[in-house]
Structure 1
Amino acid sequence: MRFKFLALALPAVGIASSMAITVVSVPKATAQIPLLPQLLPSPSSVNNDANNRLVTGWIYLDGRQLFQIAASRSNFPERSEDIQKKLEKIAQNYFQLPAKTAVKVEVRKVNDLPVIYINGQYLMTITSDDAGLREVDMFTSANQIAESLQEDLQEAKQERQTQFLIDQGKIAAGIGLAMIVMSWGVYGWQRRSKNHALYSLASQSPTGPLNSPISPTAAQPITSQLNQQQHRNIQEVKRRLFQLTQAGIWGGGSFFILGLFPYTRPFQVIILTAAQFPLRLGVVFLVTYVAIRLIYALIDRFTTTLISSGALLTPESSERLRLRVSTFSGVTKSIATGICIGVGFLLALVSLGIDIVPLLAGASLVGVAVSLASQNLIKDAINGFLIILEDQYALGDVITVGDVGGLVENLNLRMTQLRDSEGRLITIPNSEIKVVANLSSRWSRADLTIPIAYQADIEKALTLIESIGFEMDKDPQWERQILEVPQVLGIDQFGDRGLIIRVWIKTQPLKQWDVAREFRRRLKVALDQAGISISVPQQAIWVNDEQLLNFQSNGSNGKAN
C-alpha cells in the first residue's frame, strides 16, 4: 500500500483575510468528514504504468475539504498547484470585498468542456477524470463543484466577520473553561483512587511469614504477593488511562478550538499530517501496554482465587501446590507478554502501511536463522520447561545450584534468579543448571547437632532432649509446622567439643529454620535448669621432651635444698 502525504500551502495572514488550500491524495471513494481531513490518504490507480496512474486529491479551503480532482500521476502535482494558486488569489480578492457582496460562481462551455469561473476569474476546467469521481457527466460534475464553491466561499467570508469571531471566541473560552474543570475533576478522581488503593493495600493483614533466612521478600505468603502484584498492575493501568484521559481532554479541546476560527483551522491539517504516524504508533503502544498489564492482573486474580479456594489443595501438598501455581503464573505472564508484543509489532507495521503478508510468509525462514544463531536460548527454554514440568523447584523454594544458593525469586523459561543470604540477586541460565538441591520441596528437615560435655550424664541429657522435642510437637503454636515427632538419633560422634548428639525434625517447607531456632532456645533453658553444660572447644597439651623434663626436675630439687 502506498501513501502520499498532504501538500499544504499557507499564504501570509493579512489584515482582511486569510486562507489555506491543501491538496492530498486520498482513496477514490471516501466520505468527507467536516473539519477533519482524511487520515489515511492513498492514491488510487487504474493503470499499471506508474506515470499514467490516475490519482485523486482534495482541494481545501480554510482546512475544509471542497472538492476532489483527478489527473495522471505525472500531471497531478502541476494541476493541483495551479488550481491552488488560482483559488487562493480569487478567495483573497473576494474576502476584501464588502461583507454583503455575493460571490458569483458560473460554469461556461469552452471547446465543449465545462469551465468554472469565480467572479469572472478562471479557476479550472473539468475533465472526464474529475467527472468519473462522481460518476456523472462533466457538466453535472462542474455544476456540483460550482454549488459547493458558492456555499463554501460565502461561509468562509462570513466566518471572517467580527461578530462571528467574537461568538467563536466565546465558545473557545467556554471550551477552555470546560477543559480546566474536566482536567481538575479527573485529577481529583485519580488522587482519590490512589488513596483508596493505598488504604486497601495497607489494610491487608498478612496470614503469616514464610520465615526464610534467605530473603526478606519471603516475609509474605504467596497469596499476599499475588494480591499486591494484581493491585500494582491495576493501578498502573488506571494511571495510564488517567494520563490518556488528560491528554485527550487538553489535546482534543485544543484541536477543537483550532477548528473554530478560519485562521487557525488549517493548523488542524498540519497537526493531523505531522502526527499521523506517531499517533498510530502511540495508540498501538498504549493498547499493547494496557493489554499486558490487564492480562497480568487477570492472571494474578485467577491464581489468587485458585490458591485461596483450596479446590486442588490437600494438607500434604498445600504449600507445594501454592508455589507451583505461583510459578506457572510467572511463566504464563512471560508467554502472554511475548504474544502481546508480537501482535503489537504487527499492528505497528500495519499502521505504517507495511504489507505484513510477505513478512509472515518469510517468518519461517527467519525463525530457522534465529534458532541457529540462538541455540543457547533454545536450550534455556527447553530446560526451563522441564524444570517447571517436573517440579524440580518453584518460586519461593530455597535451592542450591553448584556453589550458590538462595530463595528462588524469579523463574521463567530462560533463567532462574536467586536471592542469597547477603541480598545478592544471582541469575543462572536454565541450561547451566545440571544438579540442583531443593531445600523446601514438599517437606524440610531441621538437622541439629548438640554438643554435650563429656562429664555430663548422657542418659539424662538424651531424655531431656527427647522431652523437649515431644513438648514442642504438642505445642499448638508449632504442631502444624512439625510433621513428625522429633527424632533423637543418639550420640553421633566424639568431637573436640564433647559428645555430639544429632536430632532430626521433619517440618513444613521453609519452616526448618524457625523450628530449629525455637528448639535450641527451649533446649538451652532446660539444660541450664538441669545443670547440664554445653561443651566448649578444649585442648590438652602433652609435653614429651626429656631435656625439658630434666630441667624442671632439677629446678624442683634445687628449690627443695
Structure 2
Amino acid sequence: MALLLKIGGWEQIKRETWDYIVSPANWTVWLTIAIKVLVIYAAGRTVTAITRRAVAHMVREREKSPLKFDPRRTNTIGRLIGNVITYTVNFFVIILILSQFGFNLAPILAGAGVLGLAIGFGAQSLVKDVITGFFIIFEDQFAVGDVIQTGANKGTVEEIGIRVTRLRSASGEIHIIPNGLITQVTNFSTHNSLAILDVTVAYDTDLEKAMEITKDTAKEVYHHSDLIVKEPVILGVQAVTNTDVTMRITAECRPNAQPEVIRLLNMELMRSLEQHGLKKIG
C-alpha cells in the first residue's frame, strides 16, 4: 500500500511538472523574464562600455595636454575608475536580474546600507580625499612642477597622490596636505605672470635721461632673456618725495618667473645708470 502511494505521488509530481512546462501562461511569464534579463544585461554592458570609453578619452586628452605628472599615474587612475564603474554597474545588474526571479533583495540592500554607513562614518575623510584627488587630476587644477598656494601653504608641487598632495616650499620644507583640505588653489604656473619693478633715483636726477636709459636697458634685457615674453613697459613716475623719484616698469614674463626677471632688471638697470653717471637708489 505504501509503495502504491509513493508511485501515485511520483506520478502526480510528474504530471504537475509537465503541465507547468507546457502551460502557455508559464511560457509567457518565463519569456517575459528572459526578455527583461536580456534588456538589463544589454543596458548594463552599454553603460559600462560608454563610461569606460569616456574615461579612456579623458585619459588620452590628459596625455595630449602639457601635464607634468607621470603619465603612468594617469593610466592607472583611468583603469581604476573603469574598474570601479564596471563593478558598480555589474552589482546593480545582478540586483535587477535577481529581482526578476522573485528573490527577496531586502537583506542584500540592508547589508549594503550597513556597509555604506560603516564606510561613511569610519572613512569619510579618506573617501573625501580620494574623490578630491580624482578631480584635481582630471580637471588639471595643478600638476607636478607647478607653483601653487592653498591656504597658508605655498610651494612647488612634488607629488599629486590619490589621497595627499606634497608641496616643497621655497626654503625646502615638504608640506603634506590631504586632498580633501584643498578647497581653494592659486596656481602661479599656468599663465604668464607680470613682473613689476620700481626704479628709484635721486630727486635732482635728469628724469628724462633716466627714463630713456631705463627704457633702453629694459628693451635690451628683453632681447637677451627668454624669460620675458613681451617688451617691458615704462609706466612712468610712480611716486615723488623730497629726496627721490620712483619710476615703475612692468614686464610680462613666463609663469612664475617674476623674481628672476626682477633681479635681472635690477642688476642691469643699476649697471646702466651708473655707466651714464646716474645712481639707482632703490
Give the TM-score normalised by structure 2.
0.58
Residue of structure 2 in register with 1:402 after alignment: 151
Q: What is the DSSP-based 3-state SS (H/G/I as helix, E as strand, rest coil) of the residue aligned with 2:69?
A: helix
Q: Which amino acid aligns with 2:147?
A: V
Q: CA deviation at 1:528?
A: 0.7
Residue of structure 1 in register with 2:26 after alignment: none
| Structure 1: distance between partners of 2:165 and 2:216 | 42
Q: What is the DSSP-based 3-state SS (H/G/I as helix, E as strand, rest coil) of the residue aligned with 1:466?
A: helix
Residue of structure 1 in register with 2:229 after alignment: 483
Q: CA deviation at 1:366?
A: 3.8
Q: CA deviation at 1:336?
A: 6.8
| Structure 2: distance between partners of 1:497 and 1:427 | 48
| Structure 2: distance between partners of 1:331 and 1:377 | 20
Tell which has more relative contact order, 1 or 2 (C-alpha 8 A, sep 6+): 2
Q: CA deviation at 1:510?
A: 3.5
Give the total of aligned pairs: 196
Query: Do 2:270 and 2:279's aligned partners in 1 also have CA atoms closer than 8 Å?
Result: no
Residue of structure 2 in register with 1:506 after alignment: 252
Query: Do 2:203 and 2:241's aligned partners in 1 also have CA atoms closer than 8 Å?
Result: no
Pick from 425, 437, 446: which aligns with 2:174? 425
| Structure 2: distance between partners of 1:497 and 1:370 | 68
Q: Which amino acid aligns with 1:481?
A: L
Pick from 160, 171, 174: which aligns with 1:411? 160
Q: Are positions 1:515 and 2:237 aligned together? A: no
Residue of structure 1 in register with 2:120 after alignment: 371
Shift of the 489–380 alpha-carbon distance from structure 1 to 2, 3 Å rule, reads: farther
Shift of the 374–499 alpha-carbon distance from structure 1 to 2, 3 Å rule, reads: farther
Shift of the 528–338 alpha-carbon distance from structure 1 to 2, 3 Å rule, reads: same
- What are the residue-to-residue correspondences of 1:14-413 with 2, within 5 Å? 312=64, 321-322=65-66, 324-326=67-69, 329-330=72-73, 332-333=75-76, 366=115, 368-413=117-162
Q: What is the DSSP-based 3-state SS (H/G/I as helix, E as strand, rest coil) of the residue aligned with 2:140?
A: coil
Q: CA deviation at 1:377?
A: 2.2
Q: CA deviation at 1:421?
A: 1.4
| Structure 1: distance between partners of 2:274 and 2:116 | 71
C-alpha offsets along residues 141-186 of structure 1, whole Å, 9 cap, x if unaligned? xxxxxxxxxxxxxxxxxxxxxxxxxxxxxxxxxxxxxxxxxxxxxx
Q: CA deviation at 1:505?
A: 1.4
| Structure 2: distance between partners of 1:496 and 1:436 | 42
Q: CA deviation at 1:445?
A: 2.4
Query: Do 2:68 and 2:145's aligned partners in 1 also have CA atoms closer than 8 Å?
Result: no
| Structure 2: distance between partners of 1:497 and 1:406 | 39
Q: Which amino acid aligns with 1:501?
A: M
| Structure 2: distance between partners of 1:461 and 1:488 | 11
The sequence identity of aligned pairs, in percent, is 31
Q: CA deviation at 1:449?
A: 2.2
Shift of the 336–487 alpha-carbon distance from structure 1 to 2, 3 Å rule, reads: same
Residue of structure 1 in register with 2:273 after alignment: 527
Shift of the 437–496 alpha-carbon distance from structure 1 to 2, 3 Å rule, reads: farther
Give the TM-score normalised by structure 1.
0.31
Q: What is the DSSP-based 3-state SS (H/G/I as helix, E as strand, rest coil) of the residue aligned with 2:228?
A: coil
Shift of the 483–371 alpha-carbon distance from structure 1 to 2, 3 Å rule, reads: same
Residue of structure 2 in register with 1:451 after alignment: 200
Q: Which amino acid aligns with 2:140?
A: D
C-alpha offsets along residues 451-501 of structure 1, whole Å, 9 cap, x if unaligned? 2222222222222121112112223xx2x4322111222222346983332
Unaligned stretches of 5+ in structure 2? 1-59, 84-110
Q: Which amino acid aligns with 1:471?
A: E
Query: Do 2:129 and 2:179's aligned partners in 1 also have CA atoms closer than 8 Å?
Result: yes
Q: Which amino acid aligns with 2:238?
A: D
